[in-house]
Amino acid sequence: MRQREKLQSCYQNSKTVKNYLYELNEIWNMIGETNECTKVHKFWSGLRQELQCDLWKEKLNPEISMLKKVVASAEILEI
The per-residue pLDDT for range 10-57, each reduced to its tens digit, is: 999 999 999 999 999 999 999 999 999 999 999 999 999 999 999 999
Domains delineated in the chain: 2-77 (1.10.1200)
From the list 78, 52, 22, the residue with the least C-alpha distance to 61 is 52
pTM for the structure as a whole: 0.93
CA distance 74 to 79: 9
Tell me if 23 sits within 8 A of 38, measured CB to CB: no
pLDDT > 70? residue 1:
no
Helix, strand, coil percentages (3-state) for the chain, rounded to 5, are: 65, 0, 35
47 DSSP assignment:
S
